[in-house]
Amino acid sequence: MFATDFIFDNKRASDFNLMIGSFNNGIETASGGEIEFSVIKAPNQDKYDFYGAAINSVLTWNFSLLKNPCYTDDADELYFTQDEERQIAKWLLKQDGYKYFRFEQAGYENIFYKVQINMSPYQIGGRTAGFDLTVTSDCGYGYSQEFTHNFTLNKENPINLSINSDINSYILPHITLNGNGSFYISNNSDLSQNISNAKSTQLSNVTGTVTMDSDKDIITGISSPNDFSWYFLRLVNGVNEIATDSADNIELKITYREPRRVIV
């Protein structure tokens, strides 16, 4: 890591006249994100058979946060007052879930992580000179910037959406659609969940805007739970062919982030 600044929950460390630093042995590299194989060795055999793999550890960074000395020539002002400590804690210590985090480092501007942060004061002579941070992500990889695509979909005009993911897993997008009537939306590139195996996104009695959060399995804008098949649209790596049986136009907005196997 060569960054001296970062963005967390839409605020920069430099907005508080702070910078990334270290008090002791330098800044550690990130840990975690290893791929673990599931293997079994049969009796009387030398080789192991592969049964699967998973990323079972999350990414973790440990570094310190201190005042940027460029903003003052007074050594006493490099220590934190009680009000400044409260301000930093209010920004970094969240109790409402993971927030997006990005290091301000050249070449990595489009790599984001969903993280939680814990901090402890680093004190010298009973005065707070900075904070030791532990930044813990929600998984073993990062994400791209947010992509948003708008399409007009009908049965004569399927759409193709290309995904460039670093991880062999489904992307669960946020969907907003405007349409009328009863119809399905099928990602025919999702081989285990599409119209051919009766697992498409089926909607009935649509009269306006419907929103679907595939990640959290939340849908709004339907009149009854029976008006939805409860198969949320998923995206796969490569080209996604999305089709419908609706004769009328469906205005479709798809928002998502792609996994990025990049560790700053």
**Residue 224 burial by Cβ neighbours in a 10 Å radius (0-12, 13-18, 19+):** exposed
Asked if pLDDT for residue 26 goes beyond 70, the answer is: no
User: What's the mean pLDDT when you consider all of the chain?
Assistant: 94
* Contacts of residue 108, Cβ cutoff 8 Å, sequence gap at least 6: 3, 102, 262, 264
Per residue in 77-101, pLDDT (tens digit) is: 899 999 999 999 999 999 999 999 9
What pLDDT does 71 receive? Answer: 75
Give buried/exposed letters for 122-147 (b at 16+ CB in 10 A, else e): beeeeebbbbbbebbbebbbbbbeee
What pLDDT does 77 receive? Answer: 80
Per residue in 14-23, pLDDT (tens digit) is: 999 999 988 8
Among 45-49, 217-221, 233-237, 244-248, the least confident range: 45-49
Closest CA to 88 of 132, 48, 44, 51: 132
Is-above-0.85 flag for pTM?
yes
**DSSP per-residue letters across 172-184:** --EEEEE--EEEE
